[in-house]
């Protein structure tokens, strides 16, 4: 009778005695994201989660991948993105997927969507290939309340901004970001920023800052960011940590020591970096901040006033001299809407094309002419490789490409948007041995997930979301260059986002299995 009952149960529930998965990854070298040594194991995935890790010889699955002793790691988390507009037109986020990124933290440098709840609703409806977490931007909230006014807020205006921060955090933002070199954030004093940061801190948010100066006054700017975190009682993330301008090369030892000193005092301060010696931002940062006060109409009025224009140019040339540059050849156009033939050319080259004398004063005039026609996105070759490598060696430095979602063939964007993670793993880990592979993966995964409170992400761990990549450490490479930026990384065979294959056999599948990662959800 017992034998008959057992046979009957087996007929009704034929899979009770065997594991059954949606996806089974076999024979992988598991780099679990913690920094621990790799180990060999299989991974069983069900309903978007990692359900079993170990030797699973009898397991079955709808899709079985033989990793053949390739690296199996958590999907990379890019902590510094600007993808708000790009995700709406290119929800497949190809440049990130081919670089192994499964999650992007956007809303950086003080710029985010104004209505975070609406942003999440739209991306939920659209369906996306990557996971998205977002910060709430100081420039966004200040512009919403004060436009481009160069003054301190009234008590009523500050209250309005605090209410907007509260709403954004309740909608799921993971923190508050600043871009203190950008308009209108640059007009804000430290106490204003700290007051708004405190509102984000009440909800457990992170303070992520593009600091006020990355050149001669970089130490003052770092200290300001640390002080804001201390005042608000919240963790600090200093964005795209660098020292810019030839006059500042070598100061990374000084600036990085400030981070370590803060940590030794018990303050949660960390940094991120992209692995390149050029930065990328707008052309307007070459002008003094005051020139932009009041908005575009006020700017154009100042440029059309000979006296004011001369003062602007004078301060531009003083800035150039302080950087110890002879001209503007270090400034290269990435995208100039008014004349795409400028794309890929330096300001020095553009000045020559205009038939002007090869002098910085005339190059400054070329910049002002471009600003009056809408400005441009630029690439600035202003850092030293030794500083980049020294910063990269710091154990609390994460990876952030500081990029948007690129469109192949459009403009001449910074190559970091295509190859930041592959470049670190190929050039700096495999070839130059700046750090171990285990350590690099930790920086790209669990360190980032912990900092931004991304629950059940960033590790190969049972119960965690199945954001997983499979790659060959011997061949992973970036191919994007400043001259030919539109080239995807190679060497990554598979990318799973929430358990679904978004990249398979090195090709994007078109799957949109990404999710919005609201704070603490």
Rounded CA Rg of the chain: 25
pLDDT digit of tens for each residue in the chain (521 aa)?
A: 433 433 433 343 344 345 599 999 999 999 999 999 999 999 999 999 999 999 999 999 999 999 999 999 999 999 999 999 999 999 999 999 999 999 999 999 999 999 999 999 999 999 999 999 999 999 999 999 999 999 999 999 999 999 999 999 999 999 999 999 999 999 999 999 999 999 999 999 999 999 999 999 999 999 999 999 999 999 999 999 999 999 999 999 999 999 999 999 999 999 999 999 999 999 999 999 999 999 999 999 999 999 999 999 999 999 999 989 999 999 999 999 999 999 999 999 999 999 999 999 999 999 999 999 999 999 999 999 999 999 999 999 999 999 999 999 999 999 999 999 999 999 999 999 999 999 999 999 999 999 999 999 999 999 999 999 999 999 999 999 999 999 999 999 999 999 999 999 999 999 999 999 999 77
**140 vs 282: CA distance, rounded Å:** 17
Given this model, what pLDDT does residue 52 score?
A: 97
Phi-psi group of 458: left, alpha or beta (phi > 0 → left; psi -120 to 50 → alpha; rest → beta): left
Closest among 518, 445, 447 to 175, alpha carbons compared: 518
CA 501 to chain centre: 23
Give the position of tokens 């690099």.
440
3-state DSSP assignment of residue 438 = helix
Residue 12: its pLDDT value, please?
A: 39
Which string of DSSP letters, residue by residue, matches 172-221?
A: T--EEEEETTSTTGGG--HHHHHHHHHHHHTTT-EEEEE-S-SSTTHHHH
Cα–Cα separations (whole angstroms), residue 370 to 442, 444, 500: 43, 38, 45
Q: What are phi and psi of 280, to 5 degrees?
A: -150, 125
The DSSP code for 24 is E
The structure's pTM equals: 0.94
Residues 203 and 9: their CA atoms lie apart, in Å, by: 51
The residues near 82 (Cβ < 8 Å, ≥ 6 apart) are: 106, 108, 109, 111, 402, 403, 404
Q: Which two tokens stand for residue 298?
A: 């006020």
pLDDT of residue 19: 54
∠ CA 487-488-494, nearest 5°, is 165
Structure tokens at 206: 């992170």
Q: Which parts of 242-376 fold into alpha helices (H)?
A: 252-264, 296-304, 306-322, 347-353, 360-372
The span from the CA of 456 to the CA of 308, in Å, is: 55
Q: Residue 401 to residues 33, 337, 411, 479: CA-CA distances in angstroms?
A: 19, 23, 17, 15
The β-bridge relationship of strands 206-210 and 236-238 is parallel
Using CA atoms, how far apart are residues 467 and 129, in angstroms rounded to an integer? 11
Per DSSP, 286 falls in state G
Residue 16 has a pLDDT of: 39
Residues 6 or more apart from 385 whose CB is under 8 A from it? 277
Q: What angle do CA 264, 262, 178 make, to 5 degrees?
A: 150
Instruction: Return the pLDDT at 520.
Output: 76
What is the spatial distance between Cα 88 and Cα 123, in angstroms, rounded to a whole number?
A: 7
Provide the token pair at 163: 């209410």
CA dihedral 294, 297, 301, 302 (to 10 degrees): 40
Tokens of 501: 């294959």
What pLDDT shows up at residue 521?
Answer: 75
């Amino acid at each position: 009778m017992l034998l008959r009952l057992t046979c009957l149960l087996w007929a009704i529930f034929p899979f009770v005695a065997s594991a059954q998965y949606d996806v089974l990854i076999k024979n992988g070298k598991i780099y679990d994201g913690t920094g621990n040594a790799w180990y060999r194991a299989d991974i069983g995935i069900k309903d978007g989660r990692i359900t079993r890790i170990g030797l699973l010889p009898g397991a079955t699955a709808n899709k079985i991948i033989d990793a053949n002793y390739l690296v199996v790691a958590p999907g990379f988390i890019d902590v510094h993105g600007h993808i708000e507009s790009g995700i709406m037109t290119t929800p497949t986020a190809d440049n990130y997927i081919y670089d192994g990124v499964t999650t992007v933290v956007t809303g950086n440098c003080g710029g985010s969507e104004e209505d975070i709840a609406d942003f999440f609703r739209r991306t939920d409806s659209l369906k996306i290939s990557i996971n998205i977490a977002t910060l709430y931007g100081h420039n966004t909230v200040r512009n919403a309340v004060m436009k481009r006014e160069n003054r301190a807020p009234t008590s009523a205006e500050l209250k309005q901004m605090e209410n907007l921060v509260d709403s954004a955090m309740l909608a799921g933002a993971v923190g508050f970001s600043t871009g203190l070199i950008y308009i209108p954030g640059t007009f804000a004093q430290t106490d204003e920023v700290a007051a708004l940061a405190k509102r984000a801190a009440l909800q457990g948010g992170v303070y992520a800052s593009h600091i006020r100066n990355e050149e001669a006054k970089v130490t003052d700017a770092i200290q300001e960011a640390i002080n804001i975190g201390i005042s608000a009682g919240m963790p600090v993330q200093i964005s795209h940590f660098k020292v810019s301008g030839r006059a500042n090369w070598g100061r990374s030892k000084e600036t990085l020591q400030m981070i370590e000193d803060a940590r030794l005092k018990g303050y949660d301060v960390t940094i991120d970096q992209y692995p390149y010696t050029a930065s990328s931002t707008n052309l307007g940062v070459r002008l003094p901040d005051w020139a932009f006060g009041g908005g575009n109409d006020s700017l154009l009025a100042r440029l059309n006033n000979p006296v004011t224009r001369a003062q602007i140019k004078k301060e531009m040339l003083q800035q150039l001299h302080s950087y110890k540059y002879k001209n503007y050849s270090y400034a290269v156009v990435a995208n100039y809407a008014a004349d795409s033939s400028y794309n890929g050319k330096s300001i020095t080259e553009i000045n020559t094309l205009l038939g002007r004398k090869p002098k910085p004063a005339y190059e400054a005039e070329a910049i002002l002419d471009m600003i009056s026609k809408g400005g441009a996105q630029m690439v600035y070759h202003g850092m030293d490789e030794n500083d980049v490598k020294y910063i990269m060696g710091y154990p609390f430095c994460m990876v952030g490409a500081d990029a948007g979602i690129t469109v192949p063939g459009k403009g001449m964007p910074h190559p970091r948007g295509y190859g930041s993670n592959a470049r670190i793993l190929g050039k700096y880990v495999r070839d130059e041995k700046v750090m171990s592979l285990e350590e690099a993966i930790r920086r790209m995964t669990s360190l980032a997930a912990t900092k931004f409170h991304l629950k059940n992400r960033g590790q190969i761990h049972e119960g965690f979301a199945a954001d997983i990549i499979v790659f060959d450490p011997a061949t992973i490479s970036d191919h994007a260059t400043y001259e030919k930026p539109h080239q995807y990384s190679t060497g990554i065979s598979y990318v799973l986002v929430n358990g679904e294959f978004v990249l398979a056999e090195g090709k994007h599948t078109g799957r949109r299995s990404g999710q919005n990662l609201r704070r603490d959800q």
